[in-house]
Amino acid sequence: MSDSSWGAPPQAGQAGYWGPTAGGPLQGAVTAGPAYDAPEAQQTRPMPSVPDVPAYGGDQDDDPMPDAPQPVPVPKKTAGRDLSAAIGVGVGLGVVIIASLFVVKAVFVGVVAVAVVVGLWELTSRLQERKGIRAPLVPLAVGGAAMVVAGYARGAEGAWVAMALTALAVLVWRMTQPPEGYLKDVTAGVFAAFYVPFLATFVAMMLTADDGAWRVLTFLVLTVVSDTGAYAVGWRFGKNKLAPRISPGKTREGLMGAVAFAMVAGALCMQFLIEDGVWWQGLILGLAVAGSATLGDLGESMIKRDLGIKDMGTLLPGHGGIMDRLDSLLPTAPVVWLLLVAFVGS
């Protein structure tokens, strides 16, 4: 999720503050984007000059009316994004995912593969634009899609084999270009292969169980609920920063909200959606999801800060890019897969 999803209203004048104050955005300041708090993002504007004329149109000799304090309108708090667009896009994506998940499993695997390819395109494009790193997209896209399919068809063994072949293809493909920058390009390519498609294969592997659709739904629900709990509690009660140098909008109170919401949702999902699941297992699952989703969110924030960008892309109005939606999902997938296998088997 984006940095604004845990946004707490910090105090005005606080060092590194870039979000709204308790009463709204600072007067005369341009609010910085939700993903970084660079000082140059805030630009002050001069106060407008007012001509010295008599009040109420009186004569020059009339005594001017005494100055009366004028009420200052208090702007409403904002989350830093177009919420209506974000909600609309989120609902649309949810409908597509749920429909494909419960109608034909193979279609859902295709949806995951498409998301992986688009995410790789966004990541490699930003690396080249901001750092001059040319991670080869073609072998990454082909290998990434094959990795997801292999994970669904052959399980963990298939995913590992596809990962190894993708890494080899990246090394060979880059040899067709000049040697300058070879090491950093292939290193970034192998990182991208692991970060996006390999982690996504665990979603496909969840789907292979008899109740696979419900396992994937539980994974999605817990991750979304964790982000929602972090946002709701952090925005209302957040005061203590969680990782101010990485994501100033996230607070410890928001993390507690993520944990509480995810644990409750986990208990309900394990009790009513997962075959042979019990509620106490859901408490453990929810706690693990809150932790992994938070680390995933912070991890992508770290990448974006290093690149000096707000979002990985602009494909999804109100959300950013595909990678801005996958940040907490990707590292959570192997955690949920592993715990479900441990609790109820594969």
Give the pLDDT score at 28.
41
Those residues of the chain that have pLDDT short of 70 are 1-86, 89-90, 316-319
Indicate the DSSP class of residue 93: H
203 and 214 together in one domain: no
Which 3 state secondary structure label does DSSP give 48? coil
219 and 282 together in one domain: yes
254 and 305 together in one domain: yes
193 and 275 together in one domain: no
Q: Is residue 301 part of a domain?
A: yes
182 and 276 together in one domain: no
Give the pLDDT score at 116.
96
Q: Is residue 40 part of a domain?
A: no
161 and 281 together in one domain: no
194 and 105 together in one domain: yes
Q: Which domain holds residue 259?
A: 210-345
Q: Is residue 300 part of a domain?
A: yes
217 and 313 together in one domain: yes
172 and 254 together in one domain: no
Q: Is residue 8 part of a domain?
A: no
Give the pLDDT score at 134.
95
The count of domains in the chain is: 2
161 and 275 together in one domain: no
Distances (CA, A) of 230 to 4, 50, 147, 224, 264: 10, 45, 32, 10, 14
Domain final position from 208, 239, 258: 208
Q: Is residue 19 part of a domain?
A: no
Domain final position from 208, 238, 268: 208
Domain final position from 183, 208, 233: 208
Tens digits of residue pLDDT in 249-300: 899 999 999 999 999 999 999 999 999 999 999 999 999 999 999 999 999 9
Tens digits of residue pLDDT in 202-259: 999 999 999 999 999 999 999 999 999 999 999 999 999 999 999 888 999 999 999 9
What CA–CA distance (Å, rounded) separates 324 from 310? 10
114 and 192 together in one domain: yes
The position carrying tokens 């990485």 is 246
DSSP 161-210: HHHHHHHHHHHHHHTTS-STTHHHHHHHHHHHHIIIIIHHHHHHHHTTST
Q: Is residue 141 part of a domain?
A: yes
194 and 214 together in one domain: no
